Structures are given as structure tokens and as C-alpha cells.
Amino acid sequence: MKKDKNQNSKLENLHEEVFGMMSTNAYFFGDDSVYKDKIISLGESGEQLFKSLIYSGISKTV
């Protein structure tokens, strides 16, 4: 259980970092986005987060 809590904490921190980046870069979701590679390089959880951000974040960047 402790491992899951730690993993969730890491994802929450990552989420905050990513939304911070999004707010400073309107082109966050472009194919050439440097942030996309950075997030996906974090592994499966990063890729899942990126996919969820695409759905939840598009309205914030448009």
C-alpha cells in the first residue's frame, strides 16, 4: 500500500509540473513538443498521464 501512495504522490507532482509547463506553452500538444518526449520518457505512468492531459488539457490551451 505504501508503494501505491508513493506512486500517486509522484504522479501528483508530475501533474503539477506538467500543468505548469502547459500554462507557459500554448503549443504543448504539438507533435514536436519537447514536453511530450519528457513526459513519455518517464515510462508507462508518464505516457498514461500525457494521454489524460490531452483529454483534460486541450480546452485549457485553446
Give the pLDDT confidence of 28-38 residue by residue, as tens digits: 555 556 666 66
Name, in order, each residue with C-beta under 8 angstroms of 47's C-beta and a sequence gap of 6 or more. 39, 40
H or E element in which residue 52 lies: helix 44-61
Determine the pLDDT at residue 57: 58
pLDDT > 90: percent of the chain: 0
Q: Using the structure block, give the residue that is written with the C-alpha cell 508513493.
A: 6
Determine the pLDDT at residue 19: 66
Instruction: Give the pLDDT mean for 10-33.
Output: 61
Cβ contact 20:39 at 8 Å: no
> Of the candidates 6, 24, 16, which has an alpha carbon nearest to the alpha carbon of residue 53?
16
